[in-house]
Amino acid sequence: GNSVTQMEGPVTLSEEAFLTINCTYTATGYPSLFWYVQYPGEGLQLLLKATKADDKGSNKGFEATYRKETTSFHLEKGSVQVSDSAVYFCALISDSNYQLIWGAGTKLIIKP
């Protein structure tokens, strides 16, 4: 079946550090891939997405590239800020149904 695996947290970085949160997936066909962010006390918001191989999603300085050869969708940001502290979820939707498959979430803590 379809699945998403992302790195365990918490990830703790200093402000202006480089961020990578790994995400790999297992899926049949050609899924769409997503990163969602959840700030403390809030619901989930779509951060970025990619719908086909080699697509790069980007938003708010975050980027992720859909790598079909390595079945990965790693989230990166060149210089993190304290305001980026949140929980980040990697997810996929199969192209054959409506079902969102979620990673376990990675808590990111940025220290000033």
Partner 1 sequence: IAGITQAPTSQILAAGRRMTLRCTQDMRHNAMYWYRQDLGLGLRLIHYSNTAGTTGKGEVPDGYSVSRANTDDFPLTLASAVPSQTSVYFCASSAGRGTEAFFGQGTRLTVV
- Under the binding rule (CB under 8 A), the answer on residue 44 touching partner 1 is yes
- Under the binding rule (CB under 8 A), the answer on residue 68 touching partner 1 is no
Strands 44-50, 32-38: pairing is: antiparallel
Strands 32-38, 86-93: pairing is: antiparallel
The single residue among 12, 45, 79, 83 that binds partner 1, judged by CB under 8 A, is: 45
- Under the binding rule (CB under 8 A), the answer on residue 67 touching partner 1 is no
Cα 108–Cα 109–Cα 112 angle in degrees, nearest 5 = 145
The single residue among 12, 28, 81, 96 that binds partner 1, judged by CB under 8 A, is: 96
Strands 86-93, 106-111: pairing is: antiparallel
Q: Which stretch binds partner 1 (CB under 8 A): 18-26, 27-35, 59-67, 77-85?
A: 27-35
